[in-house]
């Protein structure tokens, strides 16, 4: 017995708990994930109670269905609350987005969070199944109007990222360009590069400038799309707008990758004879 | 009993070398090595050897003769095997064992087998010649799908690689810092994800009705 226990303990592997979230977004996202699981459980119980009530129609089954519906609606509201919180914390972490824009979107998300919290608390006062149906319809209408509130921060995330990349790349490019001009104007013979080498570097500089200018033009277009999201827009339209922003941001990202590659060529050209 | 069997039943000449069996090349006489053996044993062994030789020679002659015999004359139907067997058994006694004709059962099969062997050998020879030409053409010893580009006339263009020597700016601090920054940015550009699929709106049951 002792030997078996020792063998078991010796062969058992350590079990680690879930990694502790580090950032605010990771914490909020973890809570959102947990709320989703609770909602799934509550929804399953609701489906079961509903089917039993529809089958038997007894008073007990009706009460059970009412309780299950109430729990499910509360869990559903909690999901929306946690989701909105996670989106807000994600937006706050992204650099490249205007602070005013972040504040505006955060306020809008906070409004929705407050509404759904009040709605969840009001479910306790529902006297009948019909009351719960009405409460559910209120939440449904509110959620369907959340398209711009949800998709604007989601669209700001890729836009902010490529904006920041563009900014950093431009800084690096200007720095290397200044260095090349300094080398070009160098009077000391040992610090000069050959004409052929300088010509090659100029070619790379030209290509890099072209990519940066092109990406900047596309950034302006994306910024216009993100900034003008009408609040009356439905969920589907907002989603389409978000997809458009992501696609365009991908094109800009590719231009920035090319520009980065060309800058590396410039650096390599400067470092070699 | 046929004469063939009667010949086989004839006793072997004794060991003292007085004579051999008619028509057969048996042992000429007791060699000195066999002088110590029992004559009866020796005769038995010699008879067995003789019968084996006769059987083998009859098989060989049967294969040789069966190829031609299996092909019927043009326009004439092929005789059934039973008749061929019957004909063999009805023949008069044959004194020469080696002249016994085996039924031509394996004749067509032997011909087909020969043709198959020839075809396979020809295909193998062709394949070998092709691979040989590929190897001599490309010089890389490979026979993969990319080895026949240009029908063996492909010659890679030599790339003139100029050996790069570091310039005086190879250790310049500004240049090195810029290089590190751009490498970091390049890594981030390669690994960044624009679409946050984990933050897609949750799928909720919004139609609650009984």
With an 8 Å Cβ cutoff, is A149 touching chain B? no
With an 8 Å Cβ cutoff, is B201 touching chain A? yes
Provide the 3-class DSSP secondary structure of residue B166: strand
User: Packing angle between helix A235-271 and helix A195-227, nearest 10 degrees?
Assistant: 170
* Residue A272 β-bridge partners: B166
Closest CA to B179 of A71, A75, A266, A228: A266
Q: Which of B 31-90 lie inside 8 A of A, CB atoms? A: none
Quick one: three-class SS letters along B29-94? CCCHHHHHCCHHHHHHHHHHHHHHHHHHHHHHHHHHHHHHHHCCCCCCCCCCHHHHHHHHHHCCCC
In order along its 210 residues, chain B shows pLDDT tens digits of 455 555 545 554 444 444 444 444 444 444 444 555 567 777 777 777 887 788 777 777 766 655 445 455 555 555 555 544 445 445 555 444 555 555 566 778 999 999 999 999 999 999 998 888 776 655 554 455 555 555 667 777 877 666 678 888 999 999 999 999 999 999 999 999 999 999 999 999 999 988
Alpha-helical segments (H) within A146-234: 147-184, 195-227
Cβ–Cβ of A261/B188 closer than 8 Å?
A: no
Cβ–Cβ of B210/A176 closer than 8 Å?
A: no
The ipTM estimated for the assembled molecules is: 0.83
Q: What pLDDT is stored for residue B14 in this prediction? A: 47
Burial classification of residue A85, based on how many CB atoms lie within 10 Å of its CB (0-12 exposed, 13-18 middle, 19 or more buried): buried
A222 and A189 Cβ atoms separated by less than 8 Å:
no
CA distance, residue B184 to nearest chain A CA (Å): 10
With an 8 Å Cβ cutoff, is B174 touching chain A? yes
Half-sphere exposure of A144 (CA within 13 A, CB side): 10
Token code pair at residue B196: 């946050």
Inter-chain contacts counted by CB atoms under 8 A, chains A and B = 115
Cβ–Cβ of B201/A150 closer than 8 Å?
A: yes
Residue of B nearest to A155 (CA): B195
In order along its 273 residues, chain A shows pLDDT tens digits of 665 565 555 555 555 555 677 899 999 999 999 999 999 999 999 999 999 999 999 999 999 999 999 999 999 999 999 999 999 999 999 998 989 999 999 999 999 999 999 999 999 998 899 999 999 999 999 999 999 999 999 999 999 999 999 999 999 999 999 999 999 998 988 888 889 999 999 999 999 999 999 999 999 999 999 877 777 778 899 999 999 999 999 999 999 999 999 999 999 999 988
Cβ-nearest to B189 among A76, A158, A165? A165
* CA angle at A69 for the pair A44 and A38, rounded to the nearest 5°: 45
Cβ-nearest to B167 among A53, A144, A272? A272
Burial classification of residue B29, based on how many CB atoms lie within 10 Å of its CB (0-12 exposed, 13-18 middle, 19 or more buried): middle
Cβ–Cβ of A176/B167 closer than 8 Å?
A: no
With an 8 Å Cβ cutoff, is B153 touching chain A? no
User: For residues B169 and B161, what is the distance between their CA atoms, to the nearest angstrom?
Assistant: 22
| Count of positions (residues) in chain A | 273
Global pTM exceeds 0.90: no
């Amino acid at each position: 017995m002792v030997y078996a226990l020792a063998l078991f303990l010796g062969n058992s592997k350590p079990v680690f708990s879930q990694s502790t979230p580090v950032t605010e977004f990771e914490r909020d996202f973890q809570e959102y994930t947990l709320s989703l699981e609770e909602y799934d459980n509550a929804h399953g119980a609701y489906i079961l109670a509903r089917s039993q009530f529809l089958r038997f129609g007894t008073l007990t089954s009706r009460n059970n269905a009412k309780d299950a519906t109430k729990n499910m609606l509360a869990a559903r509201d909690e999901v929306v609350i946690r989701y909105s919180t996670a989106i807000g914390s994600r937006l706050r972490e992204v650099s490249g987005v205007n602070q005013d824009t972040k504040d505006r979107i955060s306020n809008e998300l906070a409004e929705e969070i407050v509404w759904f919290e009040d709605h969840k608390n009001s479910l306790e006062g529902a006297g009948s199944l019909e009351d719960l149906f009405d409460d559910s319809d209120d939440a449904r209408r509110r959620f369907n109007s959340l398209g711009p509130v949800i998709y604007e921060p989601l669209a700001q995330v890729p836009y902010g990222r490529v904006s920041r990349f563009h900014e950093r790349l431009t800084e690096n490019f200007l720095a290397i360009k200044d260095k090349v001009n300094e080398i070009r104007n160098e009077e000391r013979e040992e610090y000069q590069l050959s004409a052929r080498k300088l010509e090659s570097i100029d070619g790379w500089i030209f290509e890099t400038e072209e990519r940066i200018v092109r990406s900047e033009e596309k950034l302006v277009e994306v910024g216009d799309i993100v900034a003008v999201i009408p609040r009356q827009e439905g969920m589907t339209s907002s989603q389409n707008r978000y997809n458009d922003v992501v696609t365009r941001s991908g094109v800009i990202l590719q231009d920035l990758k090319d520009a980065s590659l060309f800058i590396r060529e410039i650096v390599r050209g400067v470092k070699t004879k | 009993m046929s004469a063939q069997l009667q010949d086989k039943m004839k006793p072997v000449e004794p060991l003292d070398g007085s004579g051999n069996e008619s028509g057969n090349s048996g042992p000429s006489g007791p060699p000195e090595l066999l002088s110590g053996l029992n004559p009866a044993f020796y005769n038995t062994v010699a008879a067995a050897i003789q019968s084996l030789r006769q059987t083998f020679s009859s098989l060989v002659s049967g294969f040789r003769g069966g190829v031609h015999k299996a092909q019927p004359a043009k326009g004439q139907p092929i005789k059934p095997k039973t008749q061929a067997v019957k004909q063999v058994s009805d023949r008069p006694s044959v004194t020469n064992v080696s002249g016994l004709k085996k039924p031509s059962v394996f004749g067509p099969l032997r011909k087909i087998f020969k043709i198959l062997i020839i075809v396979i050998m020809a295909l193998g020879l062709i394949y070998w010649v092709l691979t040989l030409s590929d190897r001599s053409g490309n010089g890389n010893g490979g026979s993969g799908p990319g080895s026949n580009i240009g029908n063996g006339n492909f010659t890679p263009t030599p790339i003139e690689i100029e050996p790069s020597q570091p310039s005086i700016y190879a250790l310049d601090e500004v240049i090195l810092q810029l290089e590190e920054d751009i490498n970091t940015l390049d890594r981030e550009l390669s690994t960044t994800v624009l679409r946050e699929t984990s933050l897609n709106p949750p799928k909720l049951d919004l139609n609650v009705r009984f």
